[in-house]
Structure 1
Amino acid sequence: MKSVLVYCGSRSGNSDTYAHAAARLGELLAEKKYRLLFGGGNVGLMGILSNAMLDHGGEVLGVMPQRLIDREIANSRCTELRVVKSMQERKTLMEELADVIITLPGGYGSMDELFESLTNAQLGFHHKPVIILNTGGFYDPLIVQLDKMTEEGFLLKENREKLWIAATPEELMQMLLQ
């Protein structure tokens, strides 16, 4: 069973579009028998995604530092919940277990995770696909910035191409099935 790591917000955002996309992705991943790796929370897009997976018979592995379990509500429905000591340990473990890395809309944490995964790919620490789900054009400004970084010589074209972009959960699934 392939494992898909999904980084996403502990908030749901201001538009139902984000929640619908997260739920649909969870449904599709479960349908295709992928295992979900995620931050373990039962809040925001994390909760929506993981509960959709579980509602459709999917396997879900959450990874969360004890400190966050004490502050947030962990998803008690997870097939497995691993407790780690730090955010760094969380990211390292999830990336090691993953076959694919996906980022949905989110805040600082999601951006940190996305860029760490891209940096690790750039440095050759992994060769896993890194995909953003650009729901409703959420990542359009970031894509413009990455293209600017490439144009100005700060990001090599081959490293820019390490980030794949999907507009919908269905398009993302097509990328996974190639």
Structure 2
Amino acid sequence: MQSIVVYCGSSPGVKPIYKEVAVELGQKLAARRIRLIYGGGGFGLMGNVADTVLLNGGEVTGVIPNFLAQLEVAHQTLTEIHFVETMHERKYKMVHLAKGVIALPGGYGTFDELFEILAWRQLKLYDGPIAIINVDGYYDLMLQQLDRCVADGFLKPENRALLIVTNTVDECLMAIENFWESV
């Protein structure tokens, strides 16, 4: 794996475990020389992952729409930054620079990115692995909803299985590596 997209909150959340896992992910990406591709922000979990990768000698590519960069939310010390016009361009560019997607906890933006890439995978517009790290059960209710979608006939079981669910950083990175080894 050369690079991975990470979706996560531009806020830190209220539980210290969220930052701890973001920092751990950043450390392990840098140690494995996996370039972080992310939304380019300098705050919250996004900033924690990016800062940690950089502090540990890793490389970070941010992709940020001009309107967000103008609001002074762009991270200032990235290895590389791409400016785009729209959120859709951002999402497209991010996943085309990487060999997989990991989602940590986040809000609307994280859910939007996660569900859009799952839809792309279902439609065969994207072929990489998509994983979540279910920090402290953060995604439990979403997973229950996805199971309900299957039970009620709105989601095929094979499409439900496109989402790799893990509980730790190590599990997640191993699952993504195993995905590419099995292809």
| TM-score, normalisation: structure 1 | 0.97
> What CA distance in whole angstroms lies between the structure 2 residues aligned with 1:3 and 1:33?
8
Residue 103 (str. 1) matches residue 103 (str. 2): yes
> What CA distance in whole angstroms lies between the structure 2 residues aligned with 1:165 and 1:26?
19
Residue-by-residue CA offset, 1:86-120 (whole Å, 9 max, x unaligned): 11110011111121011110000100000000000
Kindly report which structure 2 residues correspond to 1:1-178, keeping only aligned pairs within 5 A, or say none. Answer: 2-178=2-178
- Kindly report structure 1 stretches of 4+ aligned residues shifted beyond 4 Å: none
Q: CA deviation at 1:176?
A: 2.6
Q: Read off the aligned partner of 2:104 and give its amino acid letter.
A: L
- Which residue pairs with 2:181 in the alignment? none
Q: CA deviation at 1:173?
A: 1.8
> What CA distance in whole angstroms lies between the structure 2 residues aligned with 1:15 and 1:119?
30
| TM-score, normalisation: structure 2 | 0.95
Is 2:40–2:64's contact at 8 Å kept on the other side of the alignment?
yes
Aligned residues: 178
Q: CA deviation at 1:177?
A: 2.9
Q: CA deviation at 1:168?
A: 1.0
Q: Any idea what SS the aligned residue of 1:155 has?
A: coil
Residue-by-residue CA offset, 1:105-136 (whole Å, 9 max, x unaligned): 00001000000000000001111100011000
Runs of at least 5 residues in structure 1 that lack an aligned partner in the other structure: none
> What CA distance in whole angstroms lies between the structure 1 residues aligned with 2:72 and 2:5?
20
Q: Read off the aligned partner of 1:62 and give its amino acid letter.
A: G
Is 2:102–2:131's contact at 8 Å kept on the other side of the alignment?
yes
Q: Read off the aligned partner of 1:176 and give its amino acid letter.
A: I
Output the aligned Cα RMSD.
0.9
